[in-house]
Amino acid sequence: GDSVTQMEGPVTLSEEAFLTINCTYTATGYPSLFWYVQYPGEGLQLLLKATKADDKGSNKGFEATYRKETTSFHLEKGSVQVSDSAVYFCALSGVTGGGNKLTFGTGTQLKVEL
């Protein structure tokens, strides 16, 4: 079945540092890929998405490129801020089996310090 693997956290960075959170996936067909962010005590917010190979999703300075050859969708940001501290989830939406069920990774906690 479909699965998503993320790097384990917590990841602790200083403000203005470069961020990479690795995400790889296993899926049949050609899934859509997503990054969601969860702030403490809240639900999930969509951060960015990509629906086909070589697509780059971007939002709020975050970027991720859909790499079919390496089955990866790594999240990057050039300069993180304290306000980026949250848990980040990589997810895929399969095209098989009907519907658009999301399969999530276990999440990566990011802590940004001054």
Give the residue with the Cβ less far from other proteins, 13 or 102.
102
- Cα 27 to chain centroid, rounded: 16
Exposed, middle or buried: residue 110 (CB in 10 Å: 0-12, 13-18, 19+)?
Answer: buried
Task: Name the DSSP letter for residue 91.
Answer: E
* Dihedrals phi, psi of 73, to nearest 5 degrees: -155, 65
- Residues lying near other proteins in the complex (CB under 8 A) are found at 4, 31-32, 34, 36, 42-46, 49, 51, 89, 91, 93-95, 97-107
Q: Looking at beta carbons only, is 72 or 109 nearer to other proteins?
A: 109
Q: How far is the CB of 114 from other proteins (least distance, A)?
A: 26
CB 74, min distance to other proteins, A: 17
